[in-house]
Amino acid sequence: DNFKARATRHIFLIRHSQYNLDGSLDKDRTLTELGREQAELTGGRLASLGVKFDKIVHSSMTRAIETTDIISKHLPGVNRVSTDLLREGAPIEPDPPVSDWKPEARQYYEDGARIEAAFRNFIHRADAKQEEDSYEIFVCHANVIRYIVCRALQFPPEGWLRMSLNNGSITHLVIRPSGRVALRTLGDSGFMPPDKITRT
């Protein structure tokens, strides 16, 4: 009984907001003005939920860092941690395949192992020593979030590309002490006015 989980983990997966696709280097792919507005709306939404967030973990890519910078302003005192594990990539060859997106095979080996490691590292039931329910935010990327959702629900991971996520949207997973997983929301962006919703 000493090694049984007792607490529930709430995982909030946030897709970064709209960014400038023209830059060739990651550092040049910064948020657009609309992207900054979206991040403000996402931060405001998270703050309005009235829960005490334990931490923000974010991808080390520029668009995730900038989204986190803005969200953080709405959640004062919440620590943030950067990780390379959550960087965008090609998690697994999608089924059915798509014609306009064909990464090299080696990309799936590199990114797939890393994104699977991100899933195992961050998505699990609470440790036995965790006494209270936790609320954690992960600011990352569409492919990473879609793969994590498939894996957490034990759905075939190659189906990840059948889902679509808006910029700044909130995906909420609940992991019970029993290990049961519930997807409470997938890509919620209903808190944004329709003319500010994008999927770039």
Summary count for the chain: helices (H), strands (E) = 4, 6
Query: Under rule CB under 8 A, which residues in 16-55 are in contact with another protein?
Result: none
Q: Output the CA–CA distances (angstroms, integers) from residue 197 to 128, 144, 171, 190, in the order listed.
A: 40, 20, 15, 9
Question: Hey, what amino acid is at 110?
Answer: E
Residues in contact with another protein, counted by CB under 8 A, come to a total of 19
Collapsed DSSP state (helix, strand, coil) of residue 184: strand
Q: Yes or no: say if 130 and 5 are a contact pair by the CB < 8 Å rule.
A: yes
CB of 90 to another protein, least distance (A): 14
Collapsed DSSP state (helix, strand, coil) of residue 160: helix
**Whose structure tokens read 């919440």?**
78
Q: Yes or no: say if 7 and 129 are a contact pair by the CB < 8 Å rule.
A: no
Query: Under rule CB under 8 A, which residues in 116-175 are in contact with another protein?
Result: 116-117, 120-121, 123-125, 150-151, 154-158
Distance from C-alpha of 119 to C-alpha of 16, rounded to nearest angstrom: 18
Start-to-end C-alpha separation, the chain:
47
CB of 67 to another protein, least distance (A): 24
Please say which residue, 41 or 115, places its beta carbon nearer to another protein. Answer: 115
Q: Which of 10-18, 43-51, 70-78, 115-123 is the region at the interface with another protein (rule: CB under 8 A)?
A: 115-123
Among 180, 182, 199, 200, binds another protein (CB under 8 A): 180
CB of 56 to another protein, least distance (A): 19
CB of 192 to another protein, least distance (A): 32
**Pair type for strands 9-15 and 134-140:** parallel
Please say which residue, 25 or 105, places its beta carbon nearer to another protein. Answer: 105
Please say which residue, 48 or 178, places its beta carbon nearer to another protein. Answer: 178
> Per CB under 8 A, does 92 bind another protein?
yes
CB of 170 to another protein, least distance (A): 23
CB of 116 to another protein, least distance (A): 6
Residue 168 CB neighbour total at 10 angstroms: 32
In the complex, the residues that contact another protein under the rule CB under 8 A are 85, 92, 116-117, 120-121, 123-125, 150-151, 154-158, 178-180
